[in-house]
Structure 1
Amino acid sequence: MKFAHIGDLHIGKRVNGFSMLEDQRYILKQIIGVLQENKVDAVLMAGDIYDTPLPPIEAVRLFDEFLTHLVQLRIKIFIISGNHDSADRLAFAARLLEKNNVYIHSVFEGNTQPIAIEDKYGLVNIYMLPFIKPIQIRKIWQEEAEHILTYDDAVHLVIDKMELDKKQRNIIIAHQFITGAATSDSEELSVGGLDNISVDCFADFDYVALGHIHRPQKIIKNNIRYAGSPLKYSFSETSHKKTLPIIEIKEKNNMKISFIDLLPQHDLRKVKGLYKDITLKANYESTAIDDYISVTLTDEEEIPDAIGKLRSIYPNIMKIDYDNTRTGSNNVVDNTNTALQKKPLDLMNEFYKLQNNKELSSKQCDFAQKIIEEIWEEK
């Protein structure tokens, strides 16, 4: 039996003010083609289907289109909710959808029973664990509430309640942060690692389909894996290679995982250099100028309306910043009592130097002194 593992679609997401909806439409269409070409039997969707609990109408319609295509291909679909989703909204029409082999487990209410599907090797048990918090689990199993203090406690208890038959093939879909996972800037994680769980709670599963982290990666073992988001959602992900894991499971302990590259409509990438070099036609004409771009200028002097001028070349430029002697300085303004003993012009000169890594010119000093004297005279 073949499974595809998808995580963190974040449909409806905006990156630096740019809507990703058409890019998401493009990549979902590509995913459908991959599933069809590889004759996948089921898809495991590991949460964060939408980017917000109240997704825009266009996002809901796009996900509806995606599900409809999958159902038409007679692919079984298993969906859990993530921390970005509204569990109750995602569960809408879940019972009706089961008739079309779409299984949604978004609101955890203590149900730990798997959905069993059968192939020539026997049963494969699909366990579905949406994003949970300790407070939810304490309410469900109140007699054990005093022992559920952390996210790790909560997940361990839920998995203990599953009572796995270790002789059968068991798969779990979960949306949590595993300690040690490599993160990026586009995830929403708890401060101080409060939402961390240890990987050992998944030790008895044949495959663990994780969501929450946007960088594709294994966690210690190949069968415990984050699929990652299908698109790059921050410039910290420019080096990431987005893939779609395909898991082929035969008899117990016989599993093969392959990875299909996902190619975006517009890549996210960084450009750095002097303004004159970045705008030189010979340097950009062979590049994908319609990618989503972050530009870092190394010019010492600020370029007036740089982002407006650069957009005539790179229409999808998202952000611009500078890396030069001024921005690279780690100088700190003196706020001690010694500053009170200095003349106003000296303080102004120091401040200017801290900000620009050079002193005021004689002309600037004369002008500043004139302004200072006018202020003092008004007092």
Structure 2
Amino acid sequence: MKLMHIGDLHLGKSLGEFDLTRDQEYMLDQLLGIVDQQAVDAVLIAGDVYDKAIPSEAATRMLDYFLSNLAQRNVYVYMVSGNHDSDERLNYGSNLFEANHIFISTKYEGNLQKHTLKVGEDETDIYLLPFVKASQVRHFLTEAKIEPYDDAVRAILDQADIDESRNNVLVAHQFVMGKSEDPELSGSESLGTQSVGTVEKIGCDCFDAFDYVALGHIHSPQQVGRREVRYSGSPLKYSLSEVNNEKSVPIITVCGKGKVEIELVPIRPMRNMRHLKGELKVLLDKSNVTAPEDFIYATLTDEEIISDAMGIFQQIYPNTVKIDYDNSHTREIEQVDISKIAENRSFDELISDFYRQMYGCEISEEEMDVMRTVAREAGVLHEAG
């Protein structure tokens, strides 16, 4: 049997001021095309289906379109919620969905949900583990000793009494680490994951009973530990740190107990995301301009700050998301010890030094007044004048 593993769709997401609805619709159609080409029997969706807990109308419409098309193809769907999803909203209509072979698990309620997929004479048990917190697990498994987050997931799996003689697949949205290192982070998941230290990390050996583990939460496609424990990654690039990612969809063929084949099928976006670096005139020279509709992050190496650089850039690349600088001034600032600079210095002195380093000239009194006003409104400056 063939399974397609996807996750971190983030339907309804925008990129800066740019709406991604058309890009996500294009991506969903491409996924449906892969389902047809690969003769997929079931789709595993590993959480963060929506970008926000309260999804937009466009986001819910896209999910309805995708699930309806899978149901029309008689393709089974196994979906769990992620930390971006609302349990209630993603679970809405789940009983009706089951009649069309769409199975959704959005909240852990004391048991690991299990469904058996049968294709011909072959059977695979598919387990669904939505995003959980240790406190949720303690509420139901009162006898289990649960301290770190890893304990909570192990307790859930122990209680599930998994028959290891059968084909077993798990769909989960968690932060899973290898035996010696963490997965490669990128995008919006980075900050939240790094801030929890080791508390919410799960060892990949936790999943040894499973022939394949379909993970969501990390946007960079990769295996964790063994090749059968895998993050599909987000199907689109959602941040600058993902510009070098080669997005793909894992197609898993279960050939029998312990026999799993994995093929990574590339996904091509409607509009790519690229990072350009160099002087503005060089980057925008006609001979260097390619794919102007792509989403662009630009790093300018010009020594002087260019007035309305964004406006100039968007005349050529209308979907420019962000512009920053890498020159002698910015590198000098990066090497400065901020704590020592701020020590025994007034607000005016700090702003004057910063302005001088950035622009190579003195700040005017009028400009300083503006900075003082902004600082007071932000609560940084408390003096009267």
State whether TM-score is above 0.5: yes
Partner of residue 203 from structure 1, selected from 202, 205, 208: 208
Instruction: Give me the TM-score of the superposition, normalised by structure 1.
Output: 0.88
1:171 aligned to 159, 169, 173, which one? 169
1:302 equivalent among 299, 302, 305: 305
The offset of 1:302, in angstroms, is: 1.2
Q: Displacement of 1:350 after TM fit? A: 8.3
| 320, 338, 349: which one aligns with 2:323 | 320
For structure 1, the 5+ residue unaligned runs are 372-378
- Decide whether aligned partners of structure 1 residues 46 and 350 sit closer, same or farther in structure 2, where only a CA change above 3 A counts: closer
Q: What's the offset of the Cα at 1:280? A: 1.0
Change (3 A) 1:190 1:89: farther
2:218 to 213, 216, 219: 213
Does the CA-based 8 Å contact 2:111-2:156 persist in structure 1? no
**Paired AA for residue 5 in structure 2:** H
Q: Deviations over 1:224-265 (max 9, x none)?
A: 100000000001000100001100111112221101100000
Supply the RMSD in Å over aligned alpha carbons. Answer: 2.3
Other-structure match for 1:375 = none
- Residue 314 of structure 2 corresponds to 311
Structure 1 segment 99-118 matched on structure 2, within 5 A: 99-118=99-118
What does 1:1-379 align with in structure 2 at a 5 Å threshold? 1-144=1-144, 147-179=145-177, 180-187=182-189, 188-189=192-193, 191-193=195-197, 194-284=199-289, 287-329=290-332, 330-332=335-337, 334-336=341-343, 351=353, 355-356=357-358
Cα offset for 1:67? 0.5
Matches of 2:203 and 2:102, distance apart in 1: 30
Query: Which AA in structure 2 matches 1:233?
Result: Y
Which secondary structure state, in structure 1, belongs to the residue aligned with residue 315 of structure 2?
coil
Task: Give 1:186 shift.
Answer: 2.1
Q: Give 1:153's aligned amino acid.
A: D
**1:352, 1:252 → 2: CA distance?**
64
Distance 1:92 1:349 in 2: 53
2:372 corresponds to which residue?
none
With over 3 angstroms needed to count, the CA separation of the structure-2 counterparts of 1:355 and 1:195, relative to structure 1, is: same
Q: Quote the offset at 1:334 in angstroms.
A: 3.7
Q: Secondary structure at the match of 1:48?
A: coil
Q: Is the 8 A contact 2:111 2:159 kept in 1?
A: no
Contact 2:305 2:359 (C-alpha < 8 Å) held by counterparts:
no
2:105, 2:113 within 8 Å by CA — same for their partners in 1? no
Question: Counterpart of 1:376?
Answer: none
In 2, the alpha carbon distance for the partners of 1:183 and 1:190 equals 9
**What SS does the corresponding residue of 1:64 show, helix, strand or coil?**
helix
CA offset digits 1:20-67 (Å, max 9, x no partner):
111110000000001011100000000010011100111101110011
Q: For 1:293, give the aligned amino acid.
A: I
Amino acid at match of 1:307: M
**Counterpart AA for 1:131:** F
- Greater mean deviation of Cα atoms: 291-300 or 113-122: 113-122
Secondary structure class of the residue paired with 2:230: strand
Give the drift of 1:14: 1.4
Query: Residues 291-347 of structure 1: CA distance to partner in whole angstroms, max 9, x if unpaired?
Result: 00011111111111111111110010000111111111123564455x79xxx9xx6
Given that 2:113 and 2:129 are in contact with CA atoms closer than 8 Å, whether structure 1 keeps it comes out as: no
Deviation at 1:100, TM superposition (A): 0.6
Q: Deviations over 1:196-248 (max 9, x none)?
A: 11111101100000000000000111111000000000010001000011001
Task: Give me the whole-angstrom Cα distance separating, in 2, the residues matched to 1:271 and 1:356.
Answer: 22
AA matched with 1:15: L
CA contact (8 A) 1:170 1:206 kept: yes
Instruction: Return the offset for 1:112.
Output: 2.2
Secondary structure of the structure 1 residue equivalent to 2:329: coil
Report the TM-score when normalising by structure 2. Answer: 0.87
Output the amino acid matched with 2:353: F
Residue correspondences, number? 355
Any stretches of 5+ residues in structure 2 without a counterpart? 369-384
2:382 is matched with none
Displacement of 1:353: 8.5
DSSP 3-state at the match of 2:241: helix
**Matched-pair identity in %:** 41
In 2, are the aligned partners of 1:325 and 1:357 still within 8 Å (CA)?
A: no
Distance, in Å, in 1 between the alignment partners of 2:350 and 2:256 is: 76
Structure 2 distance, partners of 1:255, 1:336, is 61
Residue 123 of structure 1 and its aligned partner are, at CA, apart by 2.2
SS of match in other structure, 1:311: helix
Rounded to whole Å, the distance in 2 between the matches of 1:52 and 1:353 is: 38
Deviations 1:180-209 (A, max 9, x none): 111113214261323111111101100000
SS at match of 2:331: coil
Give the direction of change, closer, same or farther, for the CA distance of 1:352–1:78 in structure 2 (3 Å limit): closer
- 8 Å Cα contact 2:51-2:84 kept in structure 1: yes
Query: 1:153-203 CA distances to partner (integer Å, 9 max, x unpaired)?
Result: 110000111111111100000100012111113214261323111111101
Q: Secondary structure at the match of 2:26?
A: helix
